Amino acid sequence: MASNRKNAHRARPVSRRRFLEDAGSVAALGAATTALGPFAQPAMAQTDLRKQILGIPGVDKGSPTDADWQKVGELCLGPTKANVTAGEFKGVELTFMGLNNQNLHNLLFRGFLKPWETYTGAKISWIDLAQADYNPRLQQAIATGTVDFDVLEMGAPFEGDVCGKGLASEMPDWVKKQVEIDDYVDYLKPPVGTWNGKTYRVTIDGDCHNFNYRTDVFSDPALAKAWKAAGNTSEWAVPKTWQQVQAATKFLKGRKIGGKDAWGYLDAPKPWGGFGFYFLGSRATAYAKHPDDKAWLFDVDTMKPRINNPAWIRAIQDVVDALPAEPPDQLNADPGTAGFQQFLAGTGSMLSWWGDIGSVARTSDASVVGKIIAFDILPGSDDVYNARTGAWEKLASGPNYAPNCAYLGWGMYVMARVDGDAKKHKAAWSAAAHLGGKDLSLWTVMYPSGFQVHRTSHSNVDEWVDAGYSRDYISSYLNSQFGSYNHPNRAVEPRIPGIFQYYSVAEDELAKVFAGRLDAKTGADNIAKAWEGITDRLGRANQIALYKASLGA
Amino acid sequence: MASTELSSPLAGERQLPMTPRRASPGRRNAGRWLIGASSCAFGLVVLAQALRGAGIIEFGFDDWRPTLYAYVLWGIALGCGLVMTKGERGHQLLFLLPALLFTVAVVIFPTFFGLYIAFTDWNLSSVSGRQFNGLDNIRTLMRDAFFWNALGNMVWYVLAVLVQYAIAFALALLLNAEIRARKFFRVAFLLPFMLSPVAVSWMIGKSIMEYRFGPAATLARLVGWDSPAFFASPWLARSSIMAMDAWVSIPFIMILLLAGLQALPHEVAEAAKVDGASPWQTFWKITFPLMLPVSVTAVILRIIFELKLADIVINVTAGGPGGATDTVSSFIYREYRDRSNVGYGTMLAEFYLVIIIVFVTGLLALANRWMRRFT
């Protein structure tokens, strides 16, 4: 079968996708060999179970189906059976609220939990929400006191809204053991998932922005020659700092690669329901997140916004300066457009995004860059702003890197309303623990699920290679992910109530700046003013307390 | 005692029993008692729930659903009571009562409750919940550059309705003429109106007009436009949104005008032709004035729809670039959905409602005066 597919591929006329793939494949092999560094563990002995589930249905064997999800759920029932007797939850009815993005999330959970329901006797009813409806639905339920679900799929940024208001149930110790909570990567360990010292979340996802780049562009001899001819003293190479990203982006305007326009970095200036702010954040963290300071968005003691300090203004100005060198319609590109319609389709050579790009580049028919991209942590900066001293500093260690751990991934939460019913309480936590099980999580991060690596055990490259991934590609990808998660200067998002309100307001002001209606300083001042208003409206004292708790400060 | 027999032109024939025109005193008293008792009971339920909601008393239900049931029961009791007290007149009122109670429940009450919400600081993420904040939301609105920017954009969008009207009139004249495949064109021209604006947003705004692969962009490049980015500069983005909106909406105006044209008496136009009037004179001196009532109706309806423009903007530009395409409705949508700002969002909606009412009322008065002068 494999050879048939290969021959069929050869028989095809040269398409843009094939041209790009072939042109960059050699370069990709060379450039994607970034060592996994401290995370390249010796091959961990794979259990039979892990091998078995990773073969369902098998990489390159089409998308998994509901039958596959049920099979995986059935095979991963072992930890549940150790804590729950058969039929123990008979008569218990649970309501589960989660997403149905891209036919993933809840649809997978249904399959995974079907054998759990059969074994335990519990019954689950489902509330499926589109991403856009999720936040309003959750906020309405909280504000109107109509929490009508027992188990909730939720992102850590909302922990302030839910755990901070006492709406979540504290995780029992047996669940911590069942999900092997110590296996979580460092940045997803407390304070993430906890509130006031209590643990609430079963983590099922990890999120950070990494740097995706085109290997063919940065290994192209013609571009290297032109780079030198343009008077640059450095070598033509993958940018490691935002200063280099800016220079490469401006240089690439008007250049060609394989007869096509070779654009540089792709910004995402169009508002995206608050999520677009993360993309400015990725440009700003290297400037704004000082290694000696946990905070980078607000001052810890006052919640005074830092968005209008010189570091953030510089990041905003970088976007303004880069936009004229980006594709002509970039002003109307949101992150989805930049990632999926541009970068994966062959437009642009550098992009900050969540790990989805790497996991989709080789599995989506829409992608033409699967063999010509590689990954790294976000670029750094030659200097970093110290908000405490109010001065720019050059670190003795070199450029400042501060990966943007944006959104902190999805998790399972059990609502406090089950606390009064011991049987229901155990059933709800058992369901959450099943979905967040160690072995099951390996399957979800390897196959289409909407979730990315979030456990140390996910860094075992051999398991990925055995499942069908190429070693170079997956090493580069995992290195960028774990390198971000475990970076000592990672910028972790504050988990405070209403965080998306701050982002949404910022998006509106930034849109004016990017369109040239305001300068960067005025726009940043406007955002700061609006943020102060939001903090006052939500209760400053409370926000400060929750901000401190979320930072562990 | 007044007779309870009814005179009927069908006297002598078998008749259905009818309610007496006037009820007996006992029946009237029972009816009054029923209305009074049910009203008191309903009032007590509302009062108890309101006091519980305000945290003044402990007694009450967990939510307002029982109050809704009480409202329905009160409505039934009110209907019975009216029949008992007013006889046949009560029966007549029964036809009106359900619609009246339904309107009160879903239009009048929400409007007034919305007014109350508009004067509160209610952010869904706030730990303090909903709090009355007087005129703060109005003050914020007056200083809100985003609202006034969106309102300014609405002026342009409303002016674009006149262009839509002109095009729609031309199309209506065309479809009213004796042309081949007239029926086909009538249906074909109506198709855009049948499409959801959300579908149009994706099919046209995000596909056909897409910079990289969109056919419109490809065509533009063929005719010499190097960078056909339809949504990257303020005026072009606004014009592109107007064009998409026009594509959806012109058929609506066109179909109204076509109906008007078909109702015009042919004799007048034929008489003008016999008198030697040119086609332009026939149109300008006869057709256009006769069509004024239909035209005014069509334009005002379109303006009302236009003032609520949101879906295409939200999907295609999210109000950008830099607020150039933002509408008041899309701005309110962001306040509600992205920022959970229920209090301020409601104030925006109520304020905009007042603006629309004043504007449309003024427009109607002007149109009436103008039509009287013209006709």
A residues 108-147 closer than 8 Å to B (CB): 132, 135-136, 139-140, 142-143, 146
Q: Tell the residue number behind the tokens 């029992």, with chain if given.
A: A172
> What integer is the mean pLDDT of A68-84?
95
Please report the number of interchain residue pairs, chain A to chain B, with beta-carbon separation below 8 angstroms: 122
Q: Which of B149, B337, B340 to mutate to test the interface with A (most CBs of A within 10 A)?
A: B340
Mean pLDDT to the nearest integer, B13-25: 61
pLDDT at A22: 44
B315 contacts on A by Cβ (under 8 Å): none
CB-CB under 8 Å, B321 with A514: yes
CA–CA distance from B189 to each of A2, A56, B171, B236, B249 (Å)?
51, 51, 9, 25, 11
Task: State which residue of chain A sits closest to B333, comparing Cα positions.
Answer: A273
Only one residue has tokens 């490691």, namely A240
Q: What pLDDT, in 10s, does the model give residues B47-59?
A: 988 888 777 888 7
**In the predicted model, what is the mean pLDDT of residues A237-241?**
97
Which of A290, A332, A326, A327 has the alpha carbon at shortest distance from A309? A290
> Which tens digits make up the pLDDT trace of A499-528?
888 999 999 999 999 999 999 999 999 999
- The whole-chain average pLDDT of chain A stands at 87
pLDDT at position B25: 83
Query: Would the CB atoms of A515 and B322 count as touching at under 8 Å?
Result: yes
What is the per-residue pLDDT for B60?
76
Chain A contact set for B317 (CB, 8 A): 270, 332
Query: What pLDDT sits at residue B21?
Result: 61
Name the residue facing B321 among A135, A273, A511 (closest C-beta).
A511
Lowest mean pLDDT, pick from A138-147, A173-182, B262-271, B299-308: A138-147
Tell me how far apart the alpha carbons of residues B245 and B303 are, in angstroms, rounded to a whole number: 12
pLDDT, one tens digit per residue, over B112-148 is 899 999 999 988 877 777 889 899 999 999 999 999 9
CB A376 within 8 A of CB A210: yes
Helices A277-288 and A499-514: crossing angle in degrees, nearest 10, is: 90
Q: Do B337 and A132 touch (CB under 8 A)?
A: yes
The pTM is what?
0.80
pLDDT at A47: 67
| Whether the Cβ atoms of residue A122 and residue A82 lie closer than 8 Å to each other | no
The answer to whether the Cβ–Cβ distance between B318 and A497 falls below 8 Å is no
- Closest CA–CA distance from residue B212 to any residue of chain A (Å): 9
Rounded to a whole number of angstroms, the distance from the CA of B230 to the nearest CA of chain A is: 8
What value, to the nearest 5°, has the Cα angle with vertex A10 and ends A7 and A12? 115
Task: Tell me the nearest-neighbour CA distance from A515 into chain B, angstroms.
Answer: 5
Residues 6 or more apart whose CB falls under 8 angstroms from that of A421 comprise none
Q: Which residues contact A338 (CB under 8 A, 6 or more apart)?
A: A266, A267, A268, A279, A330, A348, A351, A353
Chain A closest CA to B323's CA: distance in Å? 7
Peptide bond preceding A497: is omega within 30 degrees of 0, i.e. cis?
A: no
Whether residue A410 has pLDDT greater than 90: yes
Residue A30 clears pLDDT 50, i.e. is over it = no
Query: Quick one: average pLDDT of B290-316?
Result: 93
More confident residue, A204 or B183: A204
Q: Report the interhelical angle of B136-143 vs B342-374 (nearest 10°).
A: 60
Q: Does A270 touch chain B (CB under 8 A)?
A: yes
* DSSP per position, A122-187: -EEEEEEE-HHHHHHHHHHHHHTT----SEEEEEGGGHHHHGGGT-BPPPPHHHHHHTTGGGB-GG
Confidence category of residue A60, pLDDT binned at 50, 70, 90: low
The span from the CA of A473 to the CA of B27, in Å, is: 88
Q: Closest chain B residue to A159 measured between Cα atoms? A: B125
- End-to-end C-alpha distance for chain A, whole angstroms: 57
A537 and B210 within 8 Å at the Cβ level: the answer is: no
Residues 520-539 of A with CB under 8 A from B: 537-539
pLDDT of residue A42 exceeding 60, the answer is no
Structure tokens at A197: 């010292």
CA angle at A108 for the pair A104 and A111, rounded to the nearest 5°: 155
pLDDT at B22: 67
pLDDT exceeds 50 at position A414: yes
Between A24 and A277, where is the model more confident?
A277
pLDDT(A14) > 80: no
d(CA A283, CA A381): 10
Looking only at the bridges linking them, the beta strands covering A151-155 and A410-414 are antiparallel
Q: What is the mean pLDDT of residues B328-337?
A: 91
Quick one: CA torsion of A198, B125, A533, B317, rounded to 10 degrees? 120
pLDDT at B16: 52
| DSSP-derived pairing of the beta strands A210-214 and A201-203 | unpaired
Q: In B, which residues are within 8 Å of A347 by CB distance?
A: 212
Per-residue pLDDT tens digits for A88-114: 999 999 999 998 876 788 999 999 999
Q: Which of B122, B125, B337 has the highest number of chain A CBs within 10 A, making it the mutation to test binding with A?
A: B125
- Residue A353's SS3 state is strand
How confident is the model at residue A482, as a pLDDT? 94
pLDDT at A330 > cutoff 90: yes
Mean pLDDT of A144-168: 87
Per-residue model confidence (pLDDT) at position B336: 86
Residue B166 has pLDDT above 60, yes or no: yes
Flag whether pLDDT at B247 surpasses 50.
Answer: yes
**Would you call A539 and B338 a contact, using CB atoms and an 8 Å cutoff?**
no
Least confident window among A54-63, A237-246, A474-483, B66-75: A54-63
pLDDT at A547: 87
**In the block, which residue shows the tokens 């004249």?**
B173
The set of residues, in sequence order, having a beta carbon less than 8 Å from that of A151 and lying 6+ positions away, is A94, A95, A96, A97, A412, A413, A414, A415, A428, A431, A432
Chain A partners of B210 at a C-beta cutoff of 8 Å? 341
pLDDT at B208 exceeding the cut of 80: yes
Strand partners, A384: A393
At A15, the pLDDT band (50, 70, 90 cuts) reads very low
Most confident option among A21-30, B29-38, B269-278, B314-323: B29-38
Find the chain B residues whose C-beta atoms sit closer than 8 A to any C-beta of A.
63, 121-129, 146, 210-212, 227, 229-232, 234, 237, 317-324, 334, 336-342
Task: Kindly state the percentage of chain A with pLDDT values over 90.
Answer: 66
Confidence category of residue A17, pLDDT binned at 50, 70, 90: very low
Q: What is the pLDDT of residue A359?
A: 78
Of A139, A272, A329, the CB nearest to B124: A139
Angle between helix B342-374 and helix B109-118 axes, rounded to 10 deg: 120
Which has more pLDDT, A421 or B272?
Answer: A421
- Report CB contact under 8 Å: B212, A342: yes
**CB crowding B19-58: b at 16 or more within 10 Å, else e:** beebbeeeebebbeebbeebeeebeebeebbeeeeeeeee
Report the pLDDT value the prediction gives residue B128, as an integer from 0 to 100.
74
State which residue of chain B sits closest to A331, comparing Cα positions: B232
Region of poorest pLDDT, from A260-264, A447-451, A537-541: A447-451
With an 8 Å Cβ cutoff, is A515 touching chain B?
Answer: yes
Q: Indicate the residue of B212, B232, B340 with minimum beta-carbon distance to A501.
A: B340
Once rounded to an integer, what is the mean pLDDT over residues A381-409? Answer: 95
Q: Which of A269, A277, A276, A278 is nearest to A332 (CA)?
A: A269
Closest CA to B255 of B163, B169, B144, B135: B169
Mutate to test the interface with A, among B325, B338, B342, B347 (most CBs of A within 10 A): B338
Give the residue, A161 or A115, on which the prediction is more confident: A115
Residues of B with Cβ-Cβ distance to A341 under 8 angstroms = 210, 212
Q: Are A133 and A164 in contact (CB under 8 A)?
A: no
pLDDT higher than threshold 50 for residue A37: no
| pLDDT confidence bin for A55, thresholds 50/70/90 | confident
Q: How far apart are CA A276 and CA A97, in angstroms?
A: 25
A41-60 mean pLDDT: 70
- Chain A CB contacts of B318 under 8 Å are 270-272, 334, 511
What dihedral angle (degrees, nearest 10) is formed by the CA atoms of A189, A193, A195, A197?
-40
Nearest residue in chain A measured CA to CA from B131: A537
Q: Which of B63, B122, B320 sits opposite A331 (nearest CB)?
A: B320
Chain B residues inside the 8 Å CB shell of A130:
none
Task: Indicate the pLDDT class of residue A69, thresholds 50, 70 and 90.
Answer: very high
**Whole-number pLDDT of residue B185:** 85
Mean pLDDT calculated for residue range B218-242: 92
Q: Is the pLDDT of residue A417 over 80?
A: yes
Distance, in Å, from the CA atom of B115 to the CA atom of B349, rounded to the nearest integer, reads 10
Q: What is the predicted pLDDT for the residue at B7?
A: 45
Shortest distance between the Cα of B207 and any Cα of chain A, in A, equals: 11
A283 token code pair = 């440009």
